Amino acid sequence: MSQFLVKDGVKNQIRKGEKLVTTHCCYCGMQCGMHIRVNEKTNKVVGVEPRYDWVLTRGKMCPKGVTAYQTIDHPDRIKRPLIKKNGKFIESSWEEALDLIQSKFLGLQNQYGKDSIGVYGGVSMTNEKCYLVGKYARVGLGTRYIDYNGRYCMSSAAGGFNKTLGMDRGSTLPWTELEHTDCFFMAGSNTAECHPTSIQWFWKAKDKGAKLIVADPRETATARVADVHLDLLPGTDSALANGIMHLLIEHDYVDHGYIASRCNNYAELKEMTAKFTPAYTSEITGVSEEKLIKAAHIFGQSPRSVVMFARGAEQQTKGVDNVSLYTSMALLRGQIGKFASGVATFTGQGNGQGGREHGQKADALPGYRKIANPKDREYIAKVWGIEEKEMPQEGVSAYEMFHLMEAKKIRALHVICSNPVVSSPNINYVQKALESLDFLVVNDFFLSETAELADVVLPAVTWAEDEGTTTNIEGRVIRIRKVVEPLGESKPDWEIMQLIAERMGKGEFFPYKEPREIFDELRIASKGGKADYYGITYEKIDDQEGVFWPVPEENHLGTPYVFTERFATEDGKANLAVCDWKEPGEVTNSNYPLWLTTGRVVFHYLSGNQTRRVGFLMEKCPEPFVEIHPELAGEYGIADGERVKLSTPRGVMELPAKITKAIRKDTLFVPYHWGKEMSANQLTSPALDPFSRMPEFKVCAVKLEKLSNRR
Ligand SMILES: Nc1nc2c(c(=O)[nH]1)N[C@H]1C(S)=C(S)[C@@H](COP(=O)(O)OP(=O)(O)OC[C@H]3O[C@@H](n4cnc5c(=O)[nH]c(N)nc54)[C@H](O)[C@@H]3O)O[C@H]1N2
Ligand SMILES: Nc1nc2c(c(=O)[nH]1)N[C@H]1C(S)=C(S)[C@@H](COP(=O)(O)OP(=O)(O)OC[C@H]3O[C@@H](n4cnc5c(=O)[nH]c(N)nc54)[C@H](O)[C@@H]3O)O[C@H]1N2
Ligand code: SF4
Ligand SMILES: [Mo]
């Protein structure tokens, strides 16, 4: 006999001898609701059921989500600590691994100072863990050098939002309202592949007549159904946004009342955009004048619109400018802080939002506090029970940490939840920097390419073996539930950090018995900050289908819309962006005549360390490829499926050609989910945005060659 779990009239079957544990997917920022099926006798995960009653995703999941459960009890899981001896990993006890870490960390710090250890975090972890990574680095190890993989992901969005709106909450509105929007302007987002379950909301809106404008060098599945596809040259978003604003002003689509009462810099913006006529904008972006004009009229005439962007616009040396300019488009139309309208970035990783709020960034402390701000230092030092002067100063960004490793300033690194030797730009250099370390520790549950380089690998747990909270794409804090006990001797990262902190003589600062205690400390640490979680409890999350931050008081219900009356800037007004267009960090030339951009496919996740171990996903997409327009392929005499060579000043790779009309003729695209000789990041440019320190993953110059006589 089966039972049913019924909520809101929707049934999920519970099979005999099984229980369902309600949680969310471990991968992207959509954080789709799911129930994980557990055999009650064996306590093993046996499958997954969609969660129809989850408010945002309503039973939808993508191919990664429906197979995520297969990673939990996967044969490749690391079950015991690994120590490298004579170039080979040997299983060890926790005692032995911790002894080794203690002696190396203390030895290096005695000889070279506290800052000789770096911490490299990630945001596929709960808020509890992400918060603790910051405290572990500053208090447990006492180092200034900490940064995280979100630097490669959300840092330009954060920079742009902070500059224009004074606060970085990825979405200014709940996404369950998107169905009432009249127009979406999406820049640099491959929505259908990267946030697939969000598409239902755009379709609902489209069914009611909403318009869709997509800015992407590729004709993605989303661009294909757009009313206007702005097929821009990679790296030209700031010209595009200035050009659209030029037209909004020319046709008087500007909300003058909103601008006068809520925004600064309108006169300066008007002056800057004056030269971005359709002709000039078209010359830079390669988008036809007709398309620009059509897009501006559709966007300008829509009563409710949402401007959205993702890494396509953000992973550039002008990422912050691009975000600021696109955000300004929404401001010109008076859209931010209102129903079914506003601005949003597509948050990447599962906890890409929460993980950037609570102190994993080189310059940040919990609650979006600043480590350089004396008051903020004072407050957090008090919460942590240390002296303000013991709090380290600001460190450097993720990619810049590799320079310090190469220079022997950072001599040991602890990587927690990232695979930087696949995901960083210019990985040939990054690999050398990692190899120059005296000591590398990696926490992971699968042996990643980065873990392969480690001296010690500590077995972490998957998302299903621990509890906590994450903050989804909307800014809604939700609960991740423990489904099964940790496999083998694996441990959650918070426990691992706690064990090392004890070995560093800092045990008294890490007294937690469970994640809830860490969350309670996070609530206090974030209190009064911009990302204020003080009023959030696990119970409130359950009662309210998640809680939108900020939540400054215990009896506060949360903040679904932000900026309804004022922005989070000092004077309460938004700062319209006044930014000229600038060339990318690297431009095409006679040696490297084509543009290269990189990104994702629906079947794989980030560095691929998880999804490359799932049979179904590998069947669907076993290896990288390069998208080439048929005309360009014709010029080079390249056939579909033929192996070709790509080179940039940093590296070379060979891979099969995928010939498709869905890309510009002057641009190539390679997905980056593989390591070593299959990694697109052998090619990418490490040029950084001067403000966010985001690498320019989306633009570099490349040479394409046919490999003669080989197929
Ligand atoms: N399937 C899948 N889903 C994911 C992930 C994954 O790895 N796989 N990762 C998650 C994470 S962490 C992230 S950050 C997000 C990323 O989500 P997205 O940003 O949507 O994904 P990308 O493929 O990196 O890039 C998006 C689009 O930018 C376009 N683009 C390239 N250059 C430019 C440019 O100069 N300007 C503009 N306007 N567009 C450009 C590309 O053609 C591409 O279609 O996805 C999340 N979801
Ligand atoms: N060329 C190119 N490069 C890019 C991008 C691009 O568009 N183009 N995008 C960038 C972006 S947006 C991102 S987000 C980065 C991501 O880059 P990475 O951070 O390298 O991505 P992941 O593959 O998620 O790495 C996470 C690792 O931690 C492990 N892991 C997962 N959960 C946990 C946990 O709870 N604890 C521990 N200890 N380990 C865990 C996984 O097995 C995996 O090995 O890549 C960036 N690199
Ligand atoms: S990867 Fe993202 S869209 Fe796919 S199921 Fe997981 S959370 Fe949902
Ligand atoms: Mo990301």
Name all domains of the chain by residue range, CATH numbers in brackets: 18-71 (2.20.25.90), 82-151+353-548 (3.40.50.740), 155-345 (3.40.228.10), 594-706 (2.40.40.20)
| Residue-wise DSSP of 170-207 | SBSS-GGGGGG-SEEEEES--HHHHSGGGHHHHHHHHH
Spacing, Cα 282 to ligand 2 middle (Å)? 36
- pLDDT attached to residue 12: 73
CA distances for 490 relative to 272, 416, 446, 469, 698, angstroms? 56, 14, 11, 20, 36
Other beta carbons within 10 Å of 577: 27
Q: Given CA atoms 281, 283, 285, 286 in this order, what sign does their dihedral have?
A: positive
Mutate which of 64, 66, 190 to test ligand 1's pocket (most atoms within 8 Å of Cβ)? 190
Q: What are 356-385's pLDDT values in tens digits? A: 999 999 999 999 999 999 999 999 999 999
Mutate which of 34, 55, 56, 197 to test ligand 3's pocket (most atoms within 8 Å of Cβ)? 197
Closest C-alpha among 545, 463, 562, 538 to residue 56: 545
Other beta carbons within 10 Å of 85: 10
Nearest C-alpha to atom 24 of ligand 2 is from which residue? 606
Ranges of residues in the chain with a pLDDT under 70 are 1-11, 709-711
Does residue 685 contact residue 426 with C-beta atoms inside 8 Å?
yes
Quickly tell me which residue has 């069914």 as its tokens: 207
Q: What are 499-529's pLDDT values in tens digits? A: 999 999 999 999 999 999 999 999 999 999 9
Other beta carbons within 10 Å of 266: 18
For ligand 3, what atom is nearest to the CA of residue 28?
A: 2
What ligand has the least distance to the C-alpha of 425?
2
Q: Show Cβ contacts of residue 322 under 8 Å, excluding neighbours closer than 6 positions.
A: 156, 160, 187, 188, 237, 238, 241, 309, 313, 314, 316
What ligand has the least distance to the C-alpha of 612?
2
User: Cβ(323) to ligand 1 under 6 A?
Assistant: no
User: Cβ(151) to ligand 1 under 6 A?
Assistant: no
Does residue 48 contact residue 35 with C-beta atoms inside 8 Å?
yes
In this structure, what token pair is assigned to residue 437?
A: 């370390």
Q: Which residues line ligand 3 (CB under 6 A)?
A: 25, 27-28, 30-32, 61-62, 64-65, 195-197
Spacing, Cα 210 to ligand 1 middle (Å)? 23
| Residue-wise DSSP of 74-106 | -TT---S-EEEETTEEEE--HHHHHHHHHHHHH
Does residue 272 contact residue 579 with C-beta atoms inside 8 Å?
yes
Radius of gyration for the alpha carbons in the chain, expressed in angstroms and rounded: 25
Q: What are phi and psi of 662, to 5 degrees?
A: -85, 35
How is residue 452 annotated by DSSP? Answer: H
- pLDDT attached to residue 391: 98
| Residue-wise DSSP of 303-345 | SSEEEEE-HHHHSSTTHHHHHHHHHHHHHHTT-TTSTT-EEEE
| Residue-wise DSSP of 20-85 | EEEEE-SSBTT--EEEEEEETTT--EEEEEE-TT-TTTTT---HHHHHGGGGTT-TT---S-EEEE
Spacing, Cα 681 to ligand 3 middle (Å)? 24
Closest C-alpha among 667, 134, 18 to residue 395: 134
Nearest C-alpha to atom 2 of ligand 3 is from which residue? 28
Does residue 481 contact residue 467 with C-beta atoms inside 8 Å?
yes
The H or E element that residue 136 is part of is none
In this structure, what token pair is assigned to residue 133?
A: 């990574």
User: Cβ(421) to ligand 2 under 6 A?
Assistant: no
Spacing, Cα 304 to ligand 1 middle (Å)? 25
Closest C-alpha among 257, 240, 220 to residue 334: 257
User: Cβ(664) to ligand 1 under 6 A?
Assistant: no
Nearest C-alpha to atom 30 of ligand 2 is from which residue? 417
Beta-sheet strands, E only, within 375-495: 412-416, 439-444, 456-459, 468-471, 476-480
Other beta carbons within 10 Å of 1: 4
Quote the CA–CA distance of 318 and 696 in Å, as a whole number: 9
CA distances for 441 relative to 465, 492, 550, angstroms? 22, 15, 35
In this structure, what token pair is assigned to residue 580?
A: 């000229």
- The answer to whether the peptide bond before residue 374 is cis (omega within 30 degrees of 0) is no
Helix, strand, coil content of the chain in percent (nearest 5): 35, 20, 45
Quote the CA–CA distance of 424 and 392 in Å, as a whole number: 26
| Residue-wise DSSP of 463-520 | GGGS-EEEE-TTSEEEEE---SPPSTT---HHHHHHHHHHHTT-GGG---SSHHHHHH
- pLDDT attached to residue 14: 85
In this structure, what token pair is assigned to residue 454?
A: 């480690």
Which amino acid would we find at residue 170? G
Nearest C-alpha to atom 46 of ligand 2 is from which residue? 423
- pLDDT attached to residue 575: 98
Mutate which of 31, 415, 417, 480 to test ligand 2's pocket (most atoms within 8 Å of Cβ)? 417
- pLDDT attached to residue 452: 98
| Cα three-residue angle 433-157-346, rounded to 5 degrees | 105
The H or E element that residue 163 is part of is helix 155-165
For ligand 3, what atom is nearest to the CA of residue 57?
A: 8
Quote the CA–CA distance of 627 and 553 in Å, as a whole number: 51
Quote the CA–CA distance of 221 and 336 in Å, as a whole number: 28
Spacing, Cα 84 to ligand 4 middle (Å)? 30
Spacing, Cα 57 to ligand 3 middle (Å)? 9
